Structures are given as structure tokens and as C-alpha cells.
């Protein structure tokens, strides 16, 4: 600075920046959009609803995990899927509430679907055996039809990737779930919107 001050006749000086007592978190809150708080509250409620059958302590842990990821500037769908589907810190198999499989994930579906069904409150066991002839989208549609016989539906969450993510709800609460998802910034549908990329 001394060189430039001499070069420009002392005019190259600036006052030091104003100090602030605001924390990093407070600054980030100010920079977020006005709908952030409402969307965060809706995402929290949606996650709590999704985990309604999970033990309270485990549910609270997962909700905090999803909200931390959302606060780290992840979009709602990424925060939810990364928060719950993480194999080491996400949901436990016994309380499976969100299922994620790719277009070739038939083995994963075969293993996880019975846990998802049991965790949703359906008493009848679900069995699936891959025949190698049906695409994943059709497998999930048949799964939804099977659930309908027990007053349940399988809803699809657009995670932003080309995988299949979904969860089970009571048939009578489909509309309210879709509405809450929209408030939370999530795209949830009854039919899968993922593209089948199988050959």
C-alpha cells in the first residue's frame, strides 16, 4: 500500500472495513430468500410425517440431519435424500421410510421393499423375485398396486437424479402429502417421473 500511496500522492488509501458482531449463521440467515423459513418448516414437517412410525429419538436425529443439509444450501430433495439414504448415518433398515434404487437396482429393491412395507404398518409380507423381463418403473407400479390392496400408496420423489426414490403413505393422505411436499419444495407424484434408461 505504501508504494501505491506514494505513486498516487497519498490518494490510494481506504478506510478499514466496518466490523460486525454478527455471527456467520446470522449473516447467512440475512442472505437467504424470504421463503426459506417457510420452506424449511414445511420440509421439517414433511420429514416428520415421513418418519411418523420411526421411534421418536431416531426420528428427531434424522430430522435434524435433513435440516442441517438443507441449511448447508442443499435443495430440499437433496437434503432429504442425502439425509435419509446415507448408508452409514441415514435411516436404519428396521425403520425404513424412504427407498432409493437405480434403474438396475432389482436386488436392492428385493431386499429393502419388505422392510419398507413392514415399517409402513402393513402386516402381510411382501415378496419380490426379479424375472429380468420388467423395467424398474413397472416393478414399482406393480408394488403400488399391491399396496393399494392394504389402503396404502407408493409415492415417487423426484430427487434430481435418474434414480427411483419413493415412500409409502396411507391412501387417504395422498393429497395432503402432495400438498405438503409442494410447500417443502419437493416434487412428489403418484406415478414415477424418472426415465427408464434400461436398454
Q: What is the mean pLDDT of residues 37-56?
A: 96
3-state secondary structure of 170: strand
Q: Is the dihedral of CA 138, 134, 142, 43 positive or negative?
A: negative
Higher pLDDT, 29 or 186: 186
* 16 in a structural domain: no
- Please indicate, yes or no, if residue 19 is contained in any of the structural domains: no
**What pLDDT does 132 receive?**
81
Domain with 53 in it: 35-189
2 found inside a domain: no
CA 117 to chain centre: 19
Three-state SS for 103? coil
Grid cell for residue 92:
436404519
pLDDT(10) > 50: yes
Q: Is 197 part of any domain?
A: no
Which residue, chain included where needed, has cell 440467515?
29
Q: List all residues 6 or more positions away from 98 whose beta carbon is below 8 Å from its beta carbon.
A: 50, 80, 81, 84, 85, 91, 157, 165, 166, 167
Residue 121 lies inside a defined structural domain of this protein: yes
In eight-state DSSP terms, residue 188 is E
Residue 107, CA distances (Å) to 13, 103, 112, 135 in order? 67, 11, 9, 13
Residue 6 lies in a domain: no
Number of domains in the chain: 1
Model pTM score: 0.81
pLDDT at 23: 67
Mean pLDDT of 159-180: 96
153 within some domain? yes
Share the mean pLDDT of the chain.
Answer: 88
Does residue 79 lie in a domain region?
Answer: yes
Whether residue 182 contacts residue 175, with contact meaning beta carbons closer than 8 Å, is answered with no
Amino acid at each position: 500500500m505504501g508504494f501505491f500511496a506514494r505513486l498516487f500522492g497519498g490518494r490510494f488509501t481506504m478506510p478499514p472495513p466496518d466490523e460486525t458482531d454478527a455471527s456467520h449463521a446470522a449473516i447467512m440467515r440475512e442472505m437467504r430468500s424470504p421463503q426459506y423459513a417457510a420452506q424449511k418448516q414445511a420440509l421439517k414437517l414433511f420429514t416428520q410425517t415421513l418418519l411418523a412410525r420411526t421411534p421418536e429419538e431416531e426420528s428427531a436425529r434424522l430430522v435434524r440431519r435433513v435440516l442441517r443439509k438443507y441449511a448447508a444450501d442443499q435443495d430440499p430433495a437433496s437434503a432429504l435424500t442425502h439425509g435419509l439414504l446415507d448408508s452409514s448415518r441415514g435411516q436404519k433398515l428396521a425403520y425404513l421410510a424412504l427407498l432409493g434404487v437405480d434403474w438396475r437396482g432389482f436386488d436392492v429393491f428385493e431386499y429393502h421393499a419388505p422392510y419398507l412395507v413392514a415399517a409402513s404398518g402393513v402386516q402381510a409380507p411382501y415378496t419380490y423375485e426379479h424375472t429380468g423381463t420388467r423395467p424398474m418403473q413397472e416393478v414399482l407400479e406393480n408394488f403400488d398396486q399391491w399396496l393399494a390392496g392394504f389402503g396404502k400408496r407408493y409415492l415417487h420423489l423426484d430427487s434430481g437424479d435418474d434414480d427411483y426414490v419413493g415412500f409409502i403413505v396411507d391412501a387417504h393422505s395422498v393429497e395432503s402429502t402432495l400438498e405438503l411436499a409442494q410447500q417443502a419444495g419437493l416434487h412428489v407424484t403418484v406415478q414415477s417421473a424418472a426415465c427408464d434408461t434400461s436398454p
